[in-house]
Amino acid sequence: MESTEVPLSKELLHARPTPEPVEDWIYEIGTSFRPDMRVPVRIFADDVLIQQIQRDRSLRQLVNVSTLPGIVDAALGMPDMHEGYGFPVGGVAATRLPDGVISPGGIGFDINCGVRLLVSELEEDDIRPVLEKLIHEVSRSVPAGFGRSSRKLSLNRRQLDHLLNDGVPYLVEELHLGVSEDVHFLESGGAMPGAKSTQVSERAKQRGHDQLGTLGGGNHFVEIQLVDQVFDDDAAAQLGLFPGKITVLVHTGSRGLGHQVCTDYVKRMDAVMTRHGIHVPDRQLACAPFSSQAGQEYFAAMGAAANYGFANRQVIAHHMRRIFEEFLGESRGALRLIYDVAHNTAKVERYGDDELVVHRKGATRAFGPSSREIPPAYQGLGQPVFIPGSMGTASYVLLGTDEARDISLASCCHGAGRAMSRTQSKHEVRGADLRHELEDEGIAIECTSNVELAEEAPTAYKDVDRVVDVVHEAGMARKVARLRPIAVLKG
């Protein structure tokens, strides 16, 4: 590959970009800002969110992303964007095959962090009498917190390799964790193409063998919610989301295994970049040509870690079904899977005549009604998209649009997005006070410590209503329903 180095002064490298509005809900930073930019930067936001986004380094990070070899269209920032490792969280970028690169920093450490939504026929009055006991049982069955391992499920090496290669279908068919219908309602069928356990290090496998069915820490959670508002009656009915119905939302990823995969390949790509003539303005953007040995091996390892993420949410959903049936009866407590979507992945997708490697970091795939890559039940409707709010606030169900392919590489936001650091939030919020506030609002809460509650306080995040409104108004996805939490297990 021809050398990509463009000399930059320290002042230019650290210059603060100023995005300019170009149309409603869209801001841009043009390629004239820095000589190494290959494409513009495009951010989806309103006047309030764009000011919040400018408070951290995320715009500079997105400018750096725009310099990657093979990048096309624009480096995209979602309305929930904030500073991350390499790419900002809420960053989307596509590189054209065969010459484009793949960058582990464009997927992140929590490979296939994602969300899964299940729906019941229950209403609040059915579950409220047992809610506190039920969510306590959830906390006993689903270990939460950094480094926590499963007390009930530990895979041997043969089982783990099968899982990494074959994803959720292996869990359902061989380990009987779930029902066969589940596989039809998972992004990529719960099994990423090209996944290879042989490209996952022994250290990563050691970290993953006993963490399946665990929540982890940070902003991960299991929430019991109710359908609080419906924006599209017909679409909501097709999804089974009727006002007052109880739902379960699971948010977690690939745990220590995914983190180790990212760690391993960032180091490797940092070592091979110069061999391919690649120079990046930030070493956190370490990358390699997608078609190179390093690129292909990372893609295979990332796919395996993504399969672990799908499987992790599958096991947690299995526990939730068991607990609901135990407390509410086999028939009344039944939970049906609506969909499971990933947030942190890279996928090969076709746009016109081009095959692109689409990096989504803290961003949700949002395919429209005409896509043949979504379940047949949703073709003509659109892919379900789930946007969790901050703790104690609403979450949203949306549907992808066909227009999003041209607007945002068929992508949209993944949550509210942090507005302040965890350290700052701990200094400004008392976890015990927040716990009482949530309980006063009728939300049963299980969390390992008040300190972790303070880190995830609603004030630490952007306004999810505002974020979702931008997505809806820009045409990236359309609002269907809002969900309100009544019980939370927090990582």
Segment 318-345 shows an average pLDDT of: 95
Count helices and strands (H / E) in the chain. 16, 19
Q: How far apart are CA 78 and CA 49, in angstroms?
A: 10
What pLDDT digit, counting tens, does each position of 394-453 carry? 999 999 999 999 999 999 999 988 777 777 877 787 888 888 888 889 999 998 778 878
Non-local CB neighbours of 201 within 8 Å, separated by 6+ positions: 260, 261, 264
Q: Is 380 annotated as a binding residue?
A: no
Segment 151-173 shows an average pLDDT of: 92
| CA dist 395 → 47, 116, 294 (Å) | 22, 12, 38
Q: Is 417 annotated as a binding residue?
A: yes
Task: Look at residue 5 and tell me if it is in a domain.
Answer: no
**Phi and psi torsions of 348, nearest 5°:** -90, 120
What pLDDT digit, counting tens, does each position of 248-298 carry? 999 999 999 999 999 999 999 999 999 999 999 999 999 999 999 999 999
| Residue 454 confidence (pLDDT) above 90 | no
Task: Look at residue 434 and tell me if it is in a domain.
Answer: no
- Beta strand extents in 177-328 (DSSP E only): 221-230, 245-252, 288-289
- pLDDT-above-90 percentage for the chain: 82
Which residue's entry shows tokens 């299980």? 446
Q: Tell me 105's DSSP state.
A: G
Task: Look at residue 30 and tell me if it is in a domain.
Answer: yes
* Contact of 148 with 490, CB cutoff 8 Å: no
Q: 423 in helix, strand or coil?
A: helix
pLDDT at 11: 84
Q: How far apart are CA 393 and CA 388, in angstroms?
A: 8
pLDDT at 476: 98
Q: Which of 14, 414, 427, 472 is catalytic?
A: 414
Residue 398, both tokens: 């949306």
Q: Is 196 annotated as a binding residue?
A: no
Task: Look at residue 118 and tell me if it is in a domain.
Answer: yes
Q: Tell me 475's DSSP state.
A: T
| Catalytic residue flag (residue 414) | yes
pLDDT at 253: 97
Segment 85-89 shows an average pLDDT of: 97
Please count the CA atoms within 13 angstroms of the CA of 428 that sit on its side-chain side. 13
- The burial of 47, by beta-carbon neighbours within 10 Å (0-12 exposed, 13-18 middle, 19 or more buried), is given as exposed
What pLDDT digit, counting tens, does each position of 26-81 carry? 999 999 999 999 999 999 999 999 999 999 999 999 999 999 999 999 999 999 99
* Contact of 397 with 480, CB cutoff 8 Å: yes
Closest Cα partner for 94 from 324, 408, 377? Answer: 408
Sign of CA dihedral 109, 111, 117, 118: negative
| Residue 132 confidence (pLDDT) above 80 | yes
Task: Look at residue 444 and tell me if it is in a domain.
Answer: no
Residue 313, both tokens: 């949410």
Residue 38, both tokens: 């290959």
Q: Is 415 annotated as a binding residue?
A: yes
Closest Cα partner for 448 from 196, 142, 32, 55? Answer: 142
Closest Cα partner for 281 from 57, 95, 20, 81? Answer: 57
Task: Look at residue 435 and tell me if it is in a domain.
Answer: no
Provide DSSP, 177-208: -S-GGGGGGBGGGG--TT--GGGS-HHHHHHH
Q: Is 219 annotated as a binding residue?
A: yes
Report the CATH number that the domain containing residue 284 is assigned in CATH.
Answer: 3.90.1860.10
Q: Which pLDDT band holds residue 12 (cuts at 50, 70, 90)? A: confident
**Phi and psi torsions of 43, nearest 5°:** -120, 135
pLDDT at 413: 97
Q: Tell me 461's DSSP state.
A: B
Segment 74-96 shows an average pLDDT of: 98
Domain that holds residue 486: 17-105+112-419+461-490
Q: Tell me 128's DSSP state.
A: G
Which residue's entry shows tokens 């109880």? 246
Task: Look at residue 433 and tell me if it is in a domain.
Answer: no
Q: 75 in helix, strand or coil?
A: strand
Non-local CB neighbours of 309 within 8 Å, separated by 6+ positions: 110, 111, 112, 113, 114, 252, 253, 254, 258, 342
Residues paired with 20 in a beta bridge: 28
Number of domains in the chain: 1
User: For the chain, how are helix, strand and coil distributed in percent, rounded to 5?
Assistant: 40, 25, 35
pLDDT at 146: 66
Q: Is 251 annotated as a binding residue?
A: yes
| CA dist 276 → 87, 224, 268, 283, 402 (Å) | 21, 49, 13, 15, 37
Mean of pLDDT over the chain: 94
Q: Is 391 annotated as a binding residue?
A: yes
Q: How far apart are CA 110 and CA 216, in angstroms?
A: 10
Q: How far apart are CA 482 and CA 468, in angstroms?
A: 10
| Residue 1 confidence (pLDDT) above 60 | no
Q: Which pLDDT band holds residue 152 (cuts at 50, 70, 90)? A: low
Please list, residue by residue across 457-468, b when 16 or more beta carbons sit within 10 angstroms of its beta carbon and e when fewer do: bbebbbbbebbb
* Contact of 57 with 329, CB cutoff 8 Å: no
Closest Cα partner for 177 from 163, 195, 197, 157? Answer: 163
Residue 134, both tokens: 């039920």
Amino acid at the residue 18 = T
Q: Is 222 annotated as a binding residue?
A: yes
Q: Is 221 annotated as a binding residue?
A: yes
| Residue 150 confidence (pLDDT) above 80 | no
Task: Look at residue 67 and tell me if it is in a domain.
Answer: yes
Q: Is 279 annotated as a binding residue?
A: no
What pLDDT digit, counting tens, does each position of 345-358 carry? 999 999 999 999 99
Q: Is 220 annotated as a binding residue?
A: yes
Q: Phi/psi class of residue 190: alpha, beta or left (left: φ > 0; alpha: ψ in -120 to 50)?
A: left
